[in-house]
Amino acid sequence: MRRTCALFLLVSLGAVGCGGDPEVVVEATLPRQGAASAPVADMPVRLLPYNRDSVIAGLRQKAKTSEPEVPPELLARIDSLQATAARARAGDTLNVARERTLRTLRAQVDSIRAARQAWSAETLKGFNEAVQARLENLGGVQELADTTDAAGRVTFRAPEGRWWVFARYLLPDRELYWNLPLQIGDEPATVRLTIENAEVRPAR
């Protein structure tokens, strides 16, 4: 499953704060067992004045080799076996075989993940320098960072202009990735991070 958000976010307008830059509230919620959605606490969120994906794309173009990929069919087979094993009776002979197969498949994913990490470390080693160059071109505007509270909320104040809301949330075999464009005007804005507007990627 792979979802991307290509358009500017629609923002919810609220009461204007007391002076200073416009307020941007980020709310993170994800499905939880027994609930349609629940707040995501303690998740790092960054408000970036540049497109992080664009910086990475530029570095990828210079790479001498392609990034190792986790085959989607491998992840799909793991999901299928996990679902079947969860429904089976404890001690079921077939379930023992499924668990053995799952361990083998997860080892394959771990091996590919290690190769991806090594590739990223080499390919993206110029990331910080590229970001610094972009910030200097923007006149010294700095990125903002904070962590969601118990209600899954974090509040920033940022000058008007084009920004991106960046966050990651790790799952056992995947990660949810957000890099959502936002046009900040002179009114407060609320951005919601959900499973629907996340890009689902193999965990590194």
Domain boundary among 123, 151, 185: 123
Domain boundary among 96, 123, 150: 123
Same domain (yes/no): 40, 87:
no
Q: Does residue 20 surpass a pLDDT of 70?
A: yes
Same domain (yes/no): 92, 193:
no
Same domain (yes/no): 152, 189:
yes
Residue 98 lies in a domain: yes
Residue 3 lies in a domain: no
Q: Is the pTM of this model over 0.75?
A: no
C-beta separation of 171 from 82 below 8 A: no
Residue 116 lies in a domain: yes
For 144, the 3-state DSSP assignment is strand
Residue 113 lies in a domain: yes
Domain that holds residue 92: 72-123
What's 181's domain CATH number? 2.60.40.1120
Residue 15 lies in a domain: no
Same domain (yes/no): 76, 116:
yes
Number of Cβ within a 10 Å radius of residue 154: 24
> In this prediction, what percent of the chain has a pLDDT beyond 90?
49
How far, in Å, CA of 4 to CA of 2, rounded? 7
| Residue at 161: amino acid letter | G
Q: Does residue 7 surpass a pLDDT of 50?
A: no
Q: How far is CA 181 from CA 132, 177, 191, in A?
A: 19, 13, 10
Instruction: Give me the mean pLDDT over the 14-20 stretch.
Output: 41
Residue 18 lies in a domain: no
Least confident interval from 4-18, 90-104, 125-139: 4-18
The domain total for the chain is 2
76-121 pLDDT per residue, tens:
888 888 888 777 765 566 777 888 898 899 899 889 889 988 988 8
Residue 30 lies in a domain: yes
Q: Report the pLDDT value the prediction gives residue 12, as an integer from 0 to 100.
A: 35
How far, in Å, CA of 105 to CA of 56, rounded? 29
- Which one is predicted more confidently, 26 or 173? 26
- How many angstroms from the chain centroid is the CA of residue 194? 10
Residue 80 lies in a domain: yes
The DSSP code sequence of 163-193 is: EEEEEEEE-SSEEEEEEEEEEE-SS-EEEEE
